[in-house]
Amino acid sequence: MNWTVPRIWEGGDVWILGGGPSVTKQFDIPDEVVQAVKAGTSPLSVYSKYMKPIHNKHVIGINVVFLIGDWMDMVFFGDGGFFQRYKEQLAVWKGLKVCCHADVENQPWVKFIEKNRQHAKGISPRPDRVSWNGNSGAAAISVAANAGAKRIFLLGFDMALGADQYQHFHNVYNRGPIVREDQLAKLHFEIHLLGFPQIKEDAKKMGIEIINVSPTSEIQEFRKVSLKEII
Amino acid sequence: MDRTKKVKAEVDPILPVEPIYRWKVIGGSPFHGGNHRIYKPGEVFKATEAEVPMAFRDVIVKVDVASVQEQEKVIPGKVATYKLKERAKVEPENDKEEILYDIVNQKGKIINEAPLVKEAADSFIKDLTE
């Protein structure tokens, strides 16, 4: 059954935590901790204690980010393959699980929210739809907006590789540094960026301020700040 | 003694179900499927491994790792649960005392933005759990 996002965060701040490499710098996570996570010797959850400043905020974790901790209100994902790989961990995770991929439609413990085909880019004006924008992080902006957010903070929305050529602040997908031509060719940052001009326009119409807490981000549509400036 | 006749049990044999996958035509030419259907470039279709010859696997690729049957299987999972917690009492102009509530999750974290009257809080819990 299709879910309609309730306006539970009316007038509030919502944080969307993506997987971009800038996240660890924003939370001052020591390099040895990051390296241990990337090497697979520490679980993603070791990042949790460094993220205390947002534990009590309204937080949507994108994809595998949910493994950091169950202090997040919600995990959002849009990929059926992701669900197949992480269904065991998702099944026991205590927060709200929301997905816009039809493959999970019949899972009673996952809220399924359809993609808005009439408004594929931007922010869905319908609370029972999300504008996909080509990636889960940008799709989650529709969820935050329709939950009533007045301000949306984007963390880890780099849309670029980190200095060590990693795509994420972890190596859970086991991709390692992206250096080979064939790996670089599979990156879709330019596609991920396509929706943001319309997101900016829709946010303005809806009276929502979007703040990019990813200072090195390739997204140019929103004010960029560091976490220290706002927390 | 009654003569007994051996009766052959009429039970359908249980055949293994062949996994069906989703495939996508990534090549520039249409693919002629075994069921006399033609799949256009970019089209996604469902077929078993055997129905997509190895010779075409460079232009016909699997969309998902898991089979359609695997994806459609309902698996048990934890539904997020919430309860109400009293936050404050307010006394509006009509002197009728009103209690406002927060919605808290299993970790005790407040989920709502502003305190809510009971009806609104109950309604949100319903929205989040049903």
* B62-97 pLDDT per residue, tens: 988 778 887 777 888 988 999 999 987 776 666 677
pLDDT band at A173 (very low <50, low <70, confident <90, very high): confident
**Dist. CA B25–CA A123, nearest whole Å:** 31
A21-67 pLDDT, tens digit each: 999 999 999 999 999 999 889 999 999 999 999 999 999 999 999 99
A119-140 pLDDT, tens digit each: 999 999 999 999 999 999 999 9
Chain A hits for B66, CB-CB cut-off 8 Å, are 81, 84
Query: Is B64 near chain A, with CB under 8 Å?
Result: yes
Q: Say if residues B22 and B45 touch (Cβ distance below 8 Å).
A: yes
- The pLDDT of A204-213, averaged and rounded, is 98
**Dist. CA A79–CA A103, nearest whole Å:** 9
Beta bridge partners of B61: B24
Residue A44 is predicted with a pLDDT of 93
Residue A106 is predicted with a pLDDT of 82
Number of domains in chain A: 1
Alpha-helix runs per DSSP H in chain B? 68-72, 118-129
Interface test with B, best of A1, A4, A8, A54 (most B CBs within 10 A): A8
Q: Which candidate from B64, B74, B103 shows the least CB-CB separation from A84?
A: B64
- The pLDDT of A194-213, averaged and rounded, is 97
Work out how many CB contacts closer than 8 A connect A with B: 81
Residue A176 is predicted with a pLDDT of 78
Arithmetic mean of pLDDT over chain B: 85
Contact flag B78-A56 (C-beta cutoff 8 Å): no
- The pLDDT of A174-180, averaged and rounded, is 79
pLDDT band at B8 (very low <50, low <70, confident <90, very high): low
The four Cα atoms B1, B7, B11, B12 give a dihedral, to 10 degrees, of 170
Q: Which candidate from B76, B80, B127 shows the least CB-CB separation from A6?
A: B127
The four Cα atoms B56, B59, B63, B66 give a dihedral, to 10 degrees, of 20
User: Is pLDDT at A193 greater than 80 in this prediction?
Assistant: yes
Residue A68 is predicted with a pLDDT of 96
Domain ranges (residues) in chain B? 20-72, 82-129
**Dist. CA A97–CA B84, nearest whole Å:** 20
Residue A229 is predicted with a pLDDT of 94
A78-91 pLDDT, tens digit each: 988 889 889 999 99
What whole-number percentage of chain A has pLDDT above 70?
100
**Phi-psi sector, A195: left (phi>0), alpha (psi -120 to 50), beta:** alpha
Residue A135 belongs to some domain of the structure = yes
User: Is pLDDT at A218 greater than 80 in this prediction?
Assistant: yes
What whole-number percentage of chain B has pLDDT above 70?
82
User: Is pLDDT at B13 greater than 70 in this prediction?
Assistant: no
Residue A28 is predicted with a pLDDT of 96
Residue A188 is predicted with a pLDDT of 82
Q: Which residues span the domain enclosing A69?
A: 13-230
Closest Cα in chain B, distance from residue A216 (Å): 30
CATH number at residue A101: 3.90.1480
Residue B6 is predicted with a pLDDT of 66
Residue B1 is predicted with a pLDDT of 62
What whole-number percentage of chain A has pLDDT above 90?
77
- The pLDDT of A70-78, averaged and rounded, is 96
**Dist. CA A88–CA A93, nearest whole Å:** 9
Contact flag A80-B64 (C-beta cutoff 8 Å): yes
Arithmetic mean of pLDDT over chain A: 93
Contact flag A6-B124 (C-beta cutoff 8 Å): yes
pLDDT band at B10 (very low <50, low <70, confident <90, very high): low
Residue A60 is predicted with a pLDDT of 98
Q: Which candidate from A9, A94, A107 shows the least CB-CB separation from B74?
A: A107
Interface test with A, best of B68, B109, B116 (most A CBs within 10 A): B109
**Dist. CA A211–CA A227, nearest whole Å:** 10
pLDDT band at A167 (very low <50, low <70, confident <90, very high): confident
Contact flag B71-A73 (C-beta cutoff 8 Å): no
Q: Which candidate from A6, A92, A106 shows the least CB-CB separation from B128?
A: A6
